[in-house]
Structure 1
Amino acid sequence: MIEVMGQRQQELLRLLLRTKSGMTVDELSRKLEVTRNAVRQHLASLENDGLIEPGISRPSGGRPEQLYVLSDKGMEIFPRQYSWFAELVIDSIRDEAGEGELNERLGRMGERIADKLLAQNAEESDPQKKVEKLAEIMQQMGYNTGGASVVDGQPVIEADNCVFHNLAMKNPDICRFDLAMMSKFTGSKIDHQECMALGGNVCRFKFSKPSKKKSGKS
C-alpha cells in the first residue's frame, strides 16, 4: 500500500518506522528538507487516514514538543511476509493430524473469529444487512469486496483480492477458514461459487438460509 502514496509521505512514514519513539515537526522538516507547513499538511493527511497518531509531548527549553508516531494501521502498510510461516503450520497439522482434522481446525478458527466480530458489531436481524456488514468488514480486512449484491434474490459477496492468496494457491483447504467465518457471522449457508485459488477470476460467495434439521419423534 505504501507504494501508492506520494514520495514525501513515503519518506515521512519510513522515518517514523525507523524512529519508534516518534519525531517532531521540526525534526521531520529537517530530515525531509521541506517546510514545517508542508510537514504539517502531510501529517494531517496521514493522521486522517489513521496511519499516524500523536505520541507523547517531549519536554524542551520552552513549550513541550509534540511527537508523532506510526499507528498500528501505519505499521501494517509496510510489507510483511507471514505466508511461509502459515504454510508451515498448515503442513504440520496436515502431516500430524490428517486432512479431516485440518479442516476441522480451520473451521473452528473461522468461527472463533466470527464470534469476536459479532461481539464488536451491532447485531443485525435482517439477513441482507448481515451480509452487507460482513462485506464491509471483509473490505476493511483487505479482501476488496466492493460491498454485497443480490443475485436471484440471494445475497452475494465477490472478492477480487484474497488475503490468503499465496497460501490458498498451495493449500486450497485454507478457504475453510473463510467459509466458517462467513457462515457463523451471518447465520447462513455458504455456496462458494467461484474461487481464485482454483482458477476463478474472483471469489464469489452466495448466502442462503440454512436448511432446518428434522427433529425425530421421541
Structure 2
Amino acid sequence: MIKVMGNRQQALLTLLLHTKTGLTVDELSRGLHVTRNAVRQHLASLGSDGLVETGISRPSGGRPEQLYVLSDKGLELFPRQYSWFAELVIDTIRDDAGDDVLKERLGRMGERVADQLLAQSQPATEPQEKVQKLARIMQEMGYNTGEAGVIDGQPVIEADNCVFHKLAMKDPEICRFDLAMMARFTDSTIDHQECMARGGNVCRFKFLPKAK
C-alpha cells in the first residue's frame, strides 16, 4: 500500500496521479523540492517495482523531454471505492437467483481468481510452500497476513484486515469467495477457525489435506 512508502515516493506518485500525461524529471524535482538526482533515484526504485513507467517524449524545441507516468499497478495503490458496486452485484444475484446460486457463484469466482493467480506464479509442490506463497499474495492484496504459520502441524494464515469487511459484516457468506480461492490455490480443505465478520479478532484459516 502507498502508506508504507517513504514520504517522497508517496508525493512523487501523487504528483503523477494528478498529471495523467506525465511529468519530466525537472518538473518532479520542482514539485518535490529535491534534486534531479534524487528524483532519478526514486524513479529507478519505483520503476523496478513496476509502479512507474516511461511515457511519451515531449518536444521541447531542443532535445525531447522524457515523461514519466503511473503504471496500472501504480494506479491501483490509490484507494478506490468498489464496495458499493460489489454490494449491488451481490444483491442483484441474490434477488434474481436466490441464496444458493449466490453461494455457488461466489465459490466459482474465488476459484477463477485462484486459477489466475496460479497462472501468474511459479508452481509450488509442498503444502507449506503453497500456503506461504498464498500468504504473500494475500499480503499484497491488502489482507495484512504476514507470513504463514503452523498450528498442530498444519499451515495457518491469519489476516487482520479483510478487504471485503463492509460486505462481510452485512453478509458473512462473502467469505465463500476467500475460502474457494484459498482452497483452489493450495489444493487444500480450509478450516475457517475465526472470522472478523463473526466477531473474531482475526480471520484464521487452517489448511488441511484433502480427504482421499
TM over 0.5: yes
The answer on 1:125 being equivalent to 2:125 is: yes
> By how many angstroms is 1:22 displaced?
0.9
Which consecutive residues of structure 2, in runs of 5 or more, have no partner in the other structure?
none
> By how many angstroms is 1:189 displaced?
0.6
2: CA distance between counterparts of 1:136 and 1:3? 18
The structure having more radius of gyration, on CA atoms, is 1
Within-5 A mapping of 1:49-198: 49-198=49-198
1: CA distance between counterparts of 2:130 and 2:190? 13
In structure 1, the partner of 2:13 is: 13
Q: Provide closer, same or farther for how the CA distance between residues 29 and 166 of structure 1 changes in structure 2, counting only shifts above 3 A.
A: same
In structure 2, the partner of 1:215 is: none
| Farther-moved stretch of structure 1 (75-84 vs 36-45) | 36-45
SS of the equivalent of 1:86 reads helix
SS of the equivalent of 2:114 reads helix
2: CA distance between counterparts of 1:158 and 1:31? 41
> By how many angstroms is 1:150 displaced?
1.3
> By how many angstroms is 1:171 displaced?
1.6
> By how many angstroms is 1:7 displaced?
4.9
2: CA distance between counterparts of 1:208 and 1:56? 51
Q: Provide closer, same or farther for how the CA distance between residues 8 and 148 of structure 1 changes in structure 2, counting only shifts above 3 A.
A: closer
| Farther-moved stretch of structure 1 (124-133 vs 102-111) | 124-133
Q: Provide closer, same or farther for how the CA distance between residues 122 and 164 of structure 1 changes in structure 2, counting only shifts above 3 A.
A: same
Aligned residues: 212
Tell me the C-alpha RMSD between the 2 structures: 1.9
1: CA distance between counterparts of 2:18 and 2:45? 20
Which consecutive residues of structure 1, in runs of 5 or more, have no partner in the other structure?
213-218
TM-score (norm 2): 0.90
In structure 1, the partner of 2:203 is: 203
Counterpart code for 1:157: I
SS of the equivalent of 1:175 reads helix
Identity %: 77
Counterpart code for 1:13: L
In structure 2, the partner of 1:216 is: none
